[in-house]
Amino acid sequence: MEITNNWILPALILVPFIAGFLCWVVDKLDDHLPRYIALIGMLITLGLTGVLWSQGGFTYELGQQVPSWAAQFQVEWIKSLGINIHLAVDGLSLLMVGLTALLGVLAVGCSFGEIQKNVGFFHLNLLWSLGGVIGVFLAIDLFLFFFFWEMMLVPIYFLIALWGHTGAAGKSRVYAATKFFIYTQVAGLIMLVGILGLVIYGYMMSGTIGFDYYYLMAVARTLDAQAPHIAYALMICMFIGFAVKLPVFPLHGWLPDAHAQAPTAGSVDLAGILIKTAAYGLLRFVIPFFPAASAQFADIAIIFGLIGIFYGAWCAFQQTDMKRLLAYTSISHMGFVLLALYAGNILTFQGLMIMMLAHGLSSAALFIMCGQVYERLHTRDLRLMGGIRGQFQYLPFFLMFFIAALVGIPGLGNFIGEFLILMGAFGKFPTFTIIAAISLVFAGLYGLILIHKALFGTPNEAQKQHYATPLKDLTAREIVLLMVCAIGLVWLGMYPQTFLDVSNSSMRWIANSYIPVQEIVESTQQVVSQANVEIQ
C-alpha cells in the first residue's frame, strides 16, 4: 500500500515543540513575549487540525481489516529494527488532537495572570507536553508511540514541581510531582513489556522484527486465537500501562495530589487531555489487538470501573479542597470509560467519544475556575468560602453552568455521552449498567455540595477581610476562555452528530474487532500478509 505523505501530521507535533523552544529562548527579552508565542503556536496547531477536518476521508467500508486513515506520514527511522516514523489520523485521533489543541490554547490563556516566574521555561514545558500528547494520538508505530508516551511525562513533572502549590494536606509540589512520575514510569515499563512481548513473538512467527501497527495487530490476534494465555498476559501488561494513566481504581493514587499541587494550566493538561490518552490507548491498541482476551477480561475491568465510580464520588464528598474534589470526580467519571470500552459496541464507543470531549471541556473549565477563585479569595478551602454569589456578576453563573455540565444535565455534552454509554451497555451488561446509572445521583449530590459551599450561605469569619471591598469579577480574557468551553458543551449536547460523523468510521471498525475467537485467525491472514509485504 503506497502512502502519500501528508506534512500536516508532523507539523502538528513540531509546531508546539518549536514554539515552546522559542518561548524559552526569548524569555530574557520580555516576560509577555513567551505568552504570545505559545498562544500563537497553539492557535496554529488548532488551525492545522481544522485543515485536516476539512479534507475529510473518514469513511468505513464493510469488512475492512484495518483502520481507515484519512491521512498518513511515513519515513524510515531505524531500519534494522523495523522502526518507522509512521503517523496517521482517523476520526478518533483527529478529535483527540483537536481537543488537545483547543485546551492547549485555554491552558496558555489561563496562565497569563498566574505564572510570573520563569515564564519562558514554563511555556516550554507546557507546549512540549502538549506536543508529546499529540504525538501519542498520531503515532501508529508502537516504538514511536511509546517514545511520545514517556516523553510527555517529563514536562508535566516540571510543571508540577516548579510552579505547583502546596496542597491542603501540607504535601509539597515536589512530592506530588515525584509520585506522579513514579506511578506513570512504572506503568510505562509494564506496558513496554507487553509491546516487546508482541515484537518477540512476531519475530518467532515470521522472522521479522517490526513495530508497525498492522504487523503487531496481526501478531496479537494470532496469539489471541492460538495461544490465549500468552495473549491474555500481554494484554494485561498493556492494560495496566493505560489504566494507571486513566486512572483505574486502585491505581489512581497519583491523581488527587498531582491535581491539588499543579498550576492551573497543569490541571487543565492533566484532567482535560492527559487522562484521555489512556482511553485512546485502550481503544487504539488493547481492544483491536486482543479482542478475545479483552472479552474474557471484560467483567473484571467493568467491576473495577464501577468501584472507581462510587469510590471517586464518595471521596469527592469528603474533600474540603476544591481542586481535590474535582480530581476525585474525574476518577468517578473514568469508571464509565471502562464500561463503554468493554461493552464493545458502536453505541458505547460513540458515547465514549462524546464523553471524552465533553469531560475534557467541563473539567478543564472547572480547573480554570479553581484558579480564578484562588486568585480572588487566596484559598481553595471550601470551609473558608460561602456567600460569594453576591460578590460577582459572572463567576457564579459559569461555576454553576460547568458543575451542571459535569454532573450530566440534559442539553449538554456530558449527558449525551453518558446516555449513549448506558443505552449501549444495557443489552450486554444490564446489572452493571443499572449500578452505573445509580451513581449519577451521587454526581448530582457532590455537584450541589460544591455549589452550596462555594456560592451560598454566609462568608466565613476568617475570610471577611476579602469581602470588605467588592471583589474583582472575571476579566474579558477569563470570560472568553470560559465561553469557549460553554459553547463547546452546548454544541456537543445539542448537535453531537457533528462529531459522531467524524468518529463513526473509527468506532465502527473497533466495534467490529469484537468477533468470535474462531473467526480471528481467518480475519488476520490478510493482515499478516499485507504487514509482511509492507515491512519487507
Per run of 10 residues, the mean pLDDT along the chain (length 536 residues) is 72 94 86 88 93 80 69 88 90 92 91 80 92 94 93 90 66 83 90 93 87 89 88 92 87 83 85 88 91 89 90 86 86 87 89 91 90 81 76 85 88 90 89 87 83 76 62 84 93 91 87 56 45 46
pLDDT at 146: 94
> How many domains is the chain built from?
1
Neighbours of 81 (CB within 10 A): 12
Euclidean distance between CA atoms 3 and 5, whole angstroms: 6
Neighbours of 196 (CB within 10 A): 16
Residue 23 in grid coordinates: 518561548
Is residue 2, in this structure, part of any structural domain at all? Answer: no
Is residue 1, in this structure, part of any structural domain at all? Answer: no
Is-contact 385 377, C-beta < 8 A?
Answer: yes
pLDDT at 383: 79
pLDDT at 460: 65
Name the DSSP letter for residue 272. I
**How would you class 80 by CB atoms within 10 Å of its CB: exposed for 0-12, middle for 13-18, buried for 19 or more?**
exposed
DSSP 296-347: HHHHHHHHHHHHHHHHHHHHHHH--BHHHHHHHHHHHHHHHHHHHHHH-SHH
pLDDT at 29: 78
Euclidean distance between CA atoms 208 and 219, whole angstroms: 11
Is-contact 278 149, C-beta < 8 A?
Answer: no
Range of the domain at 274: 8-535
pLDDT at 504: 87
Is residue 71, in this structure, part of any structural domain at all? Answer: yes
Is residue 3, in this structure, part of any structural domain at all? Answer: no
Euclidean distance between CA atoms 95 and 446, whole angstroms: 30
pLDDT at 533: 43
Is residue 277, in this structure, part of any structural domain at all? Answer: yes
pLDDT at 528: 44
Euclidean distance between CA atoms 35 and 249, whole angstroms: 37
Euclidean distance between CA atoms 224 and 219, whole angstroms: 9
Q: Find the helix or strand (DSSP H, E) in which 18 lies.
A: helix 8-25
Euclidean distance between CA atoms 433 and 450, whole angstroms: 27
pLDDT at 517: 39
Is residue 244, in this structure, part of any structural domain at all? Answer: yes
